[in-house]
Homo-oligomer: A and B are copies of this chain.
Amino acid sequence: MKKYSERSREELLVLKKELDQQYADVKALGLKLDMSRGKPGTDQLDLSMGMMDVLHGNADLRCETGVDCRNYGVIDGIPEAKRLLAAMSEVDPENIIIYGNSSLNVMFDSISRSMTHGVMGHTPWCKLDKVKFLCPVPGYDRHFKITEFFGIEMINIPMTPTGPDMDMVEALVSEDEAIKGIWCVPKYSNPQGITYSDETVRRFARLKPAAPDFRIYWDNAYCIHHLYKDNHDFLLEILGECEKAGNPDMVYKFASTSKISFPGSGIASLAASKANLEDFRKFMNIQTIGHDKLNQLRHVRYFKDLDGLHAHMKKQGQMILPKFELVEDTLERELGGLEIGEWTKPHGGYFISFESMEGCAKKIVAKAKEAGVIMTGAGATFPYGIDPKDSNIRIAPTYPTLEELGKAAEIFVLCVKLVSVEKLLETK
């Protein structure tokens, strides 16, 4: 295929006419498709239905220490749930707390607690003139919304194929005491599906932050969420690396079963140094009477151990891999060689990240919407919703059926072509 940029004005005009016609035809179908949300498909949820039966009306609902999980008590997680999520998080069970149904909620509370009470005895952030966070971009919109909500200034850090630009991270963190944290999705990152290299993880662990209360917010949301392609990614364990580097307290590591069992009805965890966990427990003891221990028990009895989790995730991976392949194949077939967009081919996680020509993302998303395909809002993957190049689009292939996804992907590439041609015509 001839690159769009090398085509003459006349060629582009002919192409635009064709594309306009195709777009009009598609629009006339009145489709309603959704590629916007990182939601498991119904088939993935069906896989966990056995979980509904493990705690039945005649079951013994005591945990292994004999505590009745139906009653009050055990604020930081039953031992078997700690063991399960510690294995998943690759940490010691002593370094983990089990929370409720939302790791995002734990992250929010961590920021909120830091605002009102400070981190491990340091000045509460609400008493400081300025608090800043580093935000690898593109990234997860809900992270950025939390820091925005608390008036924390966000600084974009470009992502590279091996993780955030560590030269920039090191320089900023070491010189600016107002920088209190960085948002990371280190494995199968949202939205690019990038896994941080060993070197990146080690450089994180060796950071020398100016702020003693600087923390790495390590959201390991997709830790075992492989697509089971030929190979999958490996991520170095950060808690151990931080300890080795003499920075044991520098990281909060979050995880949950939201995209393993049921979104909204999973269990979440935080892994960190014992000193950090003490800080969290002081807060928890005031905040709540404890989390849902029956749901913890339900998860442990259903999945049993890390092998059980992996076996389950393999089935899920096999369900969604064809969806990723369908989108990747469509992109390659329709856009390959045209140089009007690039995209990622992740080994796991929930997203494909698409980079359009500069200044085209918003228009592409708007065009797709007009034709009945909902995409994540352009800009959502950047702090304040502002993508400086207006080029990143997040594609979420898991929720639609294969058939729906096929149609949606076709419409998407059509919109990419159309907006790109229009863009090129502006300057030809």
Q: Give A100-123 interface residues, CB cut-off 8 Å to B.
A: 100-102, 104-105, 108-109, 112, 115-117
Let me know if A384 is at the binding interface, CB within 8 A.
no
Nearest CB on B from A93, distance (A): 20
Against B, the Cβ 8 Å flags (1 = close, 0 = not) of A230-269 are: 0000000000000000000000000000100011110000
When A108-B288, A290-B102 are in contact, do A70 and B116 touch as well, CB less than 8 Å? no
Against B, the Cβ 8 Å flags (1 = close, 0 = not) of A286-301 are: 1111111111000000
A49's partner among B37, B57, B145 (CB-CB below 8 A) is B57
Quick one: copies of this chain in the complex? 2
Stretch in contact with the other chain, from A39-47, A162-170, A317-325, A418-426: A39-47
Chain B residues with CB under 8 A of A126: 115-116, 124, 126-127
Among A49, A53, A112, A287, the most chain B Cβ lie within 10 Å of the Cβ of A287
Q: Are B116 and A150 in contact (CB under 8 A)?
A: yes
Nearest CB on B from A144, distance (A): 10
Nearest CB on B from A53, distance (A): 4
Tell me what chain A mostly uses at the interface: helix, strand, loop, or mixed: loop
Query: For the complex, what is the distance from the CA of A248 to the CA of B357, rounded to whole Å?
Result: 52
Let me know if A56 is at the binding interface, CB within 8 A.
yes
Q: Are B50 and A57 in contact (CB under 8 A)?
A: yes
Q: Are B104 and A287 in contact (CB under 8 A)?
A: yes
Q: Are B52 and A55 in contact (CB under 8 A)?
A: yes
Nearest CB on B from A67, distance (A): 11
A102's partner among B56, B71, B288 (CB-CB below 8 A) is B288
Query: For the complex, what is the distance from the CA of A368 to the CA of B125, rounded to whole Å?
Result: 44
Q: Are A263 and B71 in contact (CB under 8 A)?
A: yes
Let me know if A339 is at the binding interface, CB within 8 A.
no
A265's partner among B52, B73, B105, B294 (CB-CB below 8 A) is B294
Query: For the complex, what is the distance from the CA of A102 to the CA of B70, rounded to whole Å?
Result: 14
When A40-B71, A53-B57, A56-B52 are in contact, do A264 and B290 touch as well, CB less than 8 Å? yes
Query: For the complex, what is the distance from the CA of A50 to the CA of B53, rounded to whole Å?
Result: 12
Q: Which residue of B lies closest to A45 (CB)?
A: B70
Let me know if A29 is at the binding interface, CB within 8 A.
no
Q: Are B116 and A39 in contact (CB under 8 A)?
A: no
Q: Are A264 and B293 in contact (CB under 8 A)?
A: yes
Q: Which residue of B lies closest to A264 (CB)?
A: B290
Nearest CB on B from A116, distance (A): 5
Let me know if A155 is at the binding interface, CB within 8 A.
no
A294's partner among B57, B104, B116, B262 (CB-CB below 8 A) is B262
Let me know if A404 is at the binding interface, CB within 8 A.
no
Let me know if A68 is at the binding interface, CB within 8 A.
yes
Q: Are A287 and B150 in contact (CB under 8 A)?
A: no
Nearest CB on B from A112, distance (A): 6
Let me know if A146 is at the binding interface, CB within 8 A.
yes
Q: Are B287 and A265 in contact (CB under 8 A)?
A: no
Let me know if A1 is at the binding interface, CB within 8 A.
no
A-B contact pairs, 5 of them (CB 8 A): A42-B68, A71-B264, A102-B289, A112-B116, A126-B127
**A residues near B, CB below 8 A?**
37, 39-40, 42, 45, 48-53, 55-59, 61, 68-73, 100-102, 104-105, 108-109, 112, 115-117, 124, 126-127, 142, 145-146, 149-150, 258, 262-265, 286-295
Smallest CB-CB A-B distances: 9 pairs: A265-B294, A105-B288, A70-B262, A53-B57, A126-B126, A72-B263, A108-B287, A45-B70, A149-B286
